[in-house]
Structures are given as C-alpha cells and as structure tokens.
Structure 1
Amino acid sequence: MKPLAGISRIMEEFSQGNLGVDIPLGRTDDEIGRMAGSIRSSVAALKDMIHNVTRVLEEISRGNLKLSVDGNYLGDFSFIRDALEQIIKSLNYTLSQISSSAQQVAYGSEQGACGAQSMAQGATEQAAAEELAAVIEDISQQIISNVSSTSKANMSVTTVVNEA
C-alpha cells in the first residue's frame, strides 16, 4: 500500500470516531514518517482527553462532585477542561443552595408545628373557659331562682305573721 493512501485510510477511520486504528510508523526520517508520528501523538492525546472527560462525567453521574479535571488539554481543548470545571462548580453551588433551602424548609416546618401545637393548646383552653362560663351561668341562674324563692317565702311568712 502506498504510504499516503494508508494515512488517508487511517484519517477516514478517525473521522468516523475510530481512534483504535494502528498507525504504522515506517520510516521516521522522511515527511510521511514524521506525519504518521504526529498523527499517532494526536490520537494518543485525544484518547487521553476522552478518557479523562469520561471519568469526570462518570464521577459526576455517581454524585461525586469533589473531583478535579486532570489531563493535558492543549490549545482549543482547554475549553473542554474549563467547561467541565464550570459544570462541577455550578453543580456544587446548586447542591449547596438546595441543602440550604432544605434546612430552611425544615426550620419553617418545625416553626409551623410549634405554632399548630400552640393554637391547639389555645383552642383547648378557650373551650375549657367557655365550659366554665356556662357552669357559672347555670350557678347564677340557680342563685337568682333561689333568691326569688326565698323572697316569696319571706313574703308568705310576713303575710302569715301579720294575719295572726
């Protein structure tokens, strides 16, 4: 196979996402050999970055946000590293906010429960006070009735004494 045709076939495989193609070096002292070496180095760097990105994303999917983005992201690939670091930072911030909100909700729920308990106690005390007022009203009515009966009895006694 002609050297350029072989490199062309390898590059077609790379364009399809196949980075596992073996790149024969052949002679390294000519332009084609140096080009093959550069392609091999590029593929190794891409594989390393793909491995690192995959590792970071797998850890994030497991809930591990205490990780760092390792690897050598050269040139334009540094944007990938920066984006991964920003994702981790944003997720940590979001989880921190969620935790804080959950604590506030728990505190609010506790306060609501205390308020409900106080309200229930107040309602119980109010019901007891209303019951006591009803009993006092009954006693007052009995006293008024007794006074009236006593008054009538007194008048009857006075009438009997005056007639005798």
Structure 2
Amino acid sequence: MSTRPPLPPFNRDSAIQKVRLAEDGWNTRNPEKVALAYTEDSWWRNRVEFVQGRAAIVGLLSRKWARELEYRLIKELWAFDGNRIAVRFAYEYHDDSGQWYRAYGNENWEFAEDGLMRWRHASINEAPIPASERKFHWDLNGPRPADHPGLSDMGF
C-alpha cells in the first residue's frame, strides 16, 4: 500500500502542509491528478452534488474546470484533530462570457491512515466581481508563490 504524506494524526505543521499540498494540486486543474489524493471510494459533498469514487470526482472536477476558467485557489487551515482537517478557502475564475467571480467556502476533510482523503464536505458561495477587484494574480501554470498573501493576509 502506498501512502500520501503527511499522514494522520496531524499536528499543526503537518495539517498546514496537507492543506498547501491540496491547494497546489487543485491549482493544477488536472482532475485525474487531483483525484489521486482521495480514496478509491471517497465520498464528496460539493455544493449540491454528492459523488462517490475517483471516477465521479474526475467527472465533477472536469465539469467544474470546463466552466471555471483561469481558476486560482487559496486554502487556509481552520482547525484539525486526529485524522480531520477543516479548511476555509477562496478562489477566483471567470466564465466563458468573461465575468469574474470570487467563491468562498469551507471544507471538512477526513483522512484514511494512508493519508488519502475519504470524506470531503464543501460549502461554497460565490459572487460576481469586476476584473479590477481580482486578488489572485499568479501564473496559471504553477502553484501560488510562497510570497503571495494568504486569505488572512488579504482580509478574507
């Protein structure tokens, strides 16, 4: 069996590392790569969608990133205990008409012993924003730079 470090039980440093690894993965916008961080039978609640398993996760993410263009995400640790992590996040994207949005949300994660996520519950709200109010401006082909402000730094 392979593992996906850091492994539970989490301490503050390993929980922060796990959150950043998840952020970096999602910012690739590669559904197949992202799905590998989840157990084969992982359960998700994402807005109004309930999915189970990697194939369903790939489908959900493929649909998501086909309509959420130039997607950039920041995640931040909220709390952790044992094999669970709570995160808050924000992301920006535009639709095919060029309208920009900022989405805010919270996720509750539960991990298996091998470090793969087996439960993901996400609550997300979004609002249209003018392009001039965008805050996430790093290169789309890489992760958020280490010196880019986080959510708390930006007052989100």
TM-score, with structure 2 as normaliser = 0.22
Larger Rg: 1
Q: Which has the higher helix share?
A: 1
Q: Larger RCO: Structure 1 or Structure 2 (Cα < 8 Å, ≥ 6 residues apart)?
A: 2
Higher strand share: 2
